[in-house]
Chains A and B, each alone.
Chain A
Amino acid sequence: MADFLMYLKAFLVGGAICVIGQGLIMYTRLTSARVLVLFVVSGVFLTAIGVYKPLVDFAGAGATVPLTGFGYTLAMGAADAVYRYGFFGAFTGGITNAAAGITCAILFGLINALLFKPKAK
């Protein structure tokens, strides 16, 4: 039951965050690149002011899978590294914590570029 509830919360929160993105695209004609940038930076900001951590605790993947969650990962990493290693943690923590996602994207990007060709639409 607890599991089911967690899935439901992930669905609702993840969906709601995407709806905000959709609204931005439709009403402001933001390009997808701008939406992505905005969401990551917002994620860092919301984590910094202490709003996003409770949302992650509440909705799990519903809050970490959208790109605001990527911002959360960066921000948590930075804070954590500062706590452990001091000032220079601010420079290493963010990207360290997000390294898995970034590296995977780069690696799979390279592999896919060699394996597949884009198709005409």
Chain B
Amino acid sequence: MDAKRYSKLVKEITPGSPKLSGFFRAFWVGGFISMIGQGFNQIGALIGLSYQELPMFTSSLLVLIAAFLTGIGVYDKIGKYAGAGSIVPITGFANSVVSPAMEFRREGLVMGVGARLFFLAGPVLAYGISASVVYGIIYYVLEVAGIWG
């Protein structure tokens, strides 16, 4: 049997992830986390936070909760159930920072915790920030320098 036929056989025999339930779980958990965020937005508005402060307030609270849930060993269970439903929200970003930091505590505070903190978040920040800089420069060229008028 050659590699090509074998790869076909592997595909036939291996079951895929259960699709429908996977989507459903991701949907309701992701939606629910967003709703909690909406709740924080509302609380923030009630206590008189400004339009600029609101997103900071909400994301900080969500990150705090997710970090705590990661610490006590609950967030990975949510993740196992919900998949992208708990990876894609900002809480998933927090989980991706806290979990490697905890994992590598025994390798020391500097090269363990300090370095591994960015194990998964590093790529997100690297590409996210770079993309925003590219956009900022394009924006500068087009809008501020007046090419668009």
In the bound assembly, the distance between CA atoms of A102 and B148 in angstroms comes to 34
Decide if A61 touches B40 in the complex (CB within 8 Å). yes
Decide if B31 touches A14 in the complex (CB within 8 Å). yes
What's the dominant secondary structure at chain B's contact region?
Answer: helix
Decide if A47 touches B89 in the complex (CB within 8 Å). no
Taking the closest CB of chain B, its distance from the CB of A76, in whole angstroms, is: 9
B78 located at the interface, meaning its Cβ lies under 8 Å from any Cβ of chain A in the complex: no
Decide if B27 touches A15 in the complex (CB within 8 Å). yes
Contact A70 to B117, CB < 8 A, known contacts A18-B85, A83-B144: no
A1 located at the interface, meaning its Cβ lies under 8 Å from any Cβ of chain B in the complex: no
In the bound assembly, the distance between CA atoms of A103 and B89 in angstroms comes to 17
Taking the closest CB of chain B, its distance from the CB of A40, in whole angstroms, is: 4
- For B13-42 the 0/1 string (1 means CB < 8 A from A) is 000110100110011111111111111111
Which residues on A are within 8 Å of B, measured CB to CB?
3, 6-7, 10-26, 32-33, 35-37, 39-41, 43-45, 47-48, 59-62, 64-71, 73-75, 77-79, 81-83, 86-87, 89-91, 93-95, 98, 100-102, 104-106, 108-119, 121
Give the number of chain B interface residues (Cβ < 8 Å): 81
Q: CB < 8 Å: which of B102, B113, B117 contacts A118?
A: B102
In the bound assembly, the distance between CA atoms of A108 and B73 in angstroms comes to 15
- For B88-121 the 0/1 string (1 means CB < 8 A from A) is 1111111011110111110000000110010011
Decide if A110 touches B101 in the complex (CB within 8 Å). yes
A selection of 21 A-B contacts at a CB cut-off of 8 Å is A10-B35, A11-B32, A15-B27, A18-B29, A40-B127, A45-B135, A59-B34, A67-B88, A70-B93, A70-B128, A74-B129, A82-B136, A90-B133, A90-B136, A94-B128, A100-B56, A108-B64, A114-B113, A116-B102, A117-B102, A118-B102
Decide if A10 touches B144 in the complex (CB within 8 Å). no
Decide if B124 touches A109 in the complex (CB within 8 Å). no
Decide if A108 touches B98 in the complex (CB within 8 Å). yes
Residues on B with C-beta less than 8 A from A74 are 128-129, 131-132
Decide if A101 touches B63 in the complex (CB within 8 Å). yes
B125 located at the interface, meaning its Cβ lies under 8 Å from any Cβ of chain A in the complex: yes
Q: CB < 8 Å: which of A19, A102, A114, A115 contacts B84?
A: A19
B123 located at the interface, meaning its Cβ lies under 8 Å from any Cβ of chain A in the complex: yes
Decide if B124 touches A40 in the complex (CB within 8 Å). yes
